[in-house]
Amino acid sequence: MSDSHTIRSEMRREILVFAFAPALILGLILLSWGLAQWEIGPVYLNAFLALAAVLLGGIPRFMTGFKDAFRRRITVNVFVTVAIAATIAIGEFRPAAIIILIMSVVGALESYALDKTRRSIRALLDLAPQTATVSRNGGEVTVLVTELHAGDLIMVRPGERIPVDGTVISGASSVNQAPITGESMSVEKLPGCPVFSGTLNESGRLEIKTERVGDSTTLARIVHLVQEAQGARAPIQNLADRFTTWFLPTVVVLAIVAYFVTGDVKAAVSVLLVACPCAFAIATPTAVTAGISNMAKRAILIKGGMFLELAHKIDHLLVDKTGTFTFGKPKVMDIISFSDRSTDDILHLACIAEKYSEHPLGRAILAAGTGQSIPDPDHFKSAAGMGVEATWGAIRIRVGKPSFFQVAGLRLTPHVEQAIAQQSEQGRTAVLVAYHDEVVGLLAIADEIRPEMPATILALRGMGVKRITMLTGDNPQVAAAVARVIGVDDFEAELLPEQKQAFVKKCQAQGQVVGMIGDGVNDAPALAQADVGIAMGAAGTDVAIETADVTLMNDNISGVADFMWMSRKVLRRIKLNIFFSMIYNVIGLTLSVVGLMTPILAVIFQEAGCVTVVVSSTLLLWSKGRTGKL
């Protein structure tokens, strides 16, 4: 049975207690004011109604309490079982029924609050359509999504939601994928682009090749991870367990003291009832659940409460360069002319030579020439890892590394060599362009740094991060240039995946709490080793979602600062909740020991603490981020 069904079943069971509520509540009011004696028929009928209400609302708690006691575990349910048993033992049937009623009402309220924290996440599943238009037997038919298989071609019209994870085969459109990545702007989708189940196709018709359906889609895995995380315990919750273990014997002693001080067994029972540490027990899980749900709405998935608790303690943050500090795609950053040719002419010549190239630098050059009409070269030849040579009409064009030209016997002038050195100092790759046997220009290519990085670094330092180190497989010269622009403390260059993991271990051995941010593929060992592993831009990446403790479903590293901010906020809220629960217990126990509490007033006071904690935690759902935005 799903979590939602379980919660709703509990709510229905507890609300059934209201079948006995009107007469019990009316009788309680009359008895409290001394205006009447509640007698409905024979005494045994009154006892039967009261005991029926106790059993109906209390059996689940009693069974759990007995099981916990049998396992020698002192829990909240053991408290409830002992307190209710004591109340019935002294013949207070109607107060016992009222107590169960109040507990059931509060239990239903807690279940509702918990359900509300999960409702927005479960609602994501409703975004995925139940049917799809699929191409079969030369035509288009509508089938249930459950009947789709990997490789099926489906058609999605404007205004429809995409039912599967897949790749665009044909068509072009703007897709709103906020439920997956949290991006506020629609994303242009062209052939070859990935798409995700539950996202909205806004403008054009798309033909999509199915890759994942049902529970294997990114959307379904997001929901599963969040629900799993909400059930995970934070380390601070162990404090509640230890507290409960020694608290019950202490309360039993206080109950005996209350009996001898007042001479009234009801005072002793009141001590047991008011001391139930329900509020203390839910202080941590309710706050953690609300915090995880809040972050999920921001496309930040947290796998468990322990990572939410650890985040604010991170003092050394390790960050992979490619795809994290940078976009992970080479881009032409500058064009330099060594002749009377314009930079546009130089780019045009380079695009002609690279038109058939599959090299990433070649694709970056062609991307820079988007908008130009690029003719096909007549002949094309590639020297692996060096460059390309092409002819277009009577023109011979070479594009490649400086060594490519030196091997070909072309002379590099001091002016050209100086330009190459200047680009290298900036961490850029110099690609030369030759017209016949003359070097006429240079294209400076680099992995573009994300423009928001300097501001994000400041935000991370504001969250308490003492040191930020960039890890990369690039050469030290490129690493130094990027580190200088971004403003990190230091960097480690030319690292293999296992060396990144070793560096994490080294930092941990020095007593540091280490956070690691990476793309979740070659950084997987380091992500797994870190105290908190954070995968960035991991929509649809199995390795990232499985390996990391936290997953940023978009490409915005500022989400790490939001995660650390929420960690601080949740920890403060847990402490506040514990403070509330302790205050209620201290005041309630004091009044009970001196005989100023009846059993019913005791349970009302105790449950008021639970309501306070639930409301306090639920407010985290609507907490605005560190930037003041939901």
Any catalytic annotation for residue 437? no
Residue pair 593/264 in contact by the 8 Å Cβ criterion:
no
Token couple for 175:
């897709």
111 Cβ neighbours under 8 A, 6+ residues apart: 7, 10, 11, 14
Token couple for 201:
């196709």
Rg of the chain over all Cα atoms, to the nearest angstrom? 33
What is the three-class DSSP state of 142?
A: strand
What is the three-class DSSP state of 165?
A: strand
Choosing from 152, 165, 320, 519, the catalytic residue is 320
CB atoms within 10 A of CB 111: 21
Residue pair 427/330 in contact by the 8 Å Cβ criterion:
no
**Can you say whether the dihedral through the CA atoms of 343, 344, 347, 352 is positive or negative?**
negative
Q: What is the largest CA-CA distance in the chain?
A: 115
Residue pair 181/218 in contact by the 8 Å Cβ criterion:
no
What letter represents residue 583's amino acid? I
The interaxial angle of helices 278-297 and 237-262, nearest 10 deg, is 150
**Can you say whether the dihedral through the CA atoms of 230, 232, 235, 239 is positive or negative?**
positive
What letter represents residue 610's amino acid? C
State the DSSP code for 24: H
The interaxial angle of helices 476-486 and 453-462, nearest 10 deg, is 70
* Beta strand pairing call for 173-176 and 153-156: unpaired
Q: Identify any residues that bridge with 20 across adjacent strands, giving them in sequence order.
A: none
What letter represents residue 397's amino acid? I
Chain centroid to Cα 573, Å, comes to 19
**Can you say whether the dihedral through the CA atoms of 538, 543, 546, 549 is positive or negative?**
negative
What is the three-class DSSP state of 435?
A: strand
Token couple for 617:
């935690």
Which residue do the tokens 């639920």 mark? 618
The strand ranges marked E within 401-531 are 429-435, 438-449, 467-471, 490-492, 514-518
What letter represents residue 373's amino acid? S
Token couple for 245:
């273990």
What letter represents residue 426's amino acid? Q
d(CA 560, CA 82): 46
How many CA atoms, within 13 angstroms, populate the side-chain half-sphere of residue 476? 2
d(CA 107, CA 89): 24
State the DSSP code for 19: G
d(CA 295, CA 298): 5
CB atoms within 10 A of CB 309: 22
Chain centroid to Cα 510, Å, comes to 28
d(CA 404, CA 420): 14
Q: Which positions are catalytic?
A: 320
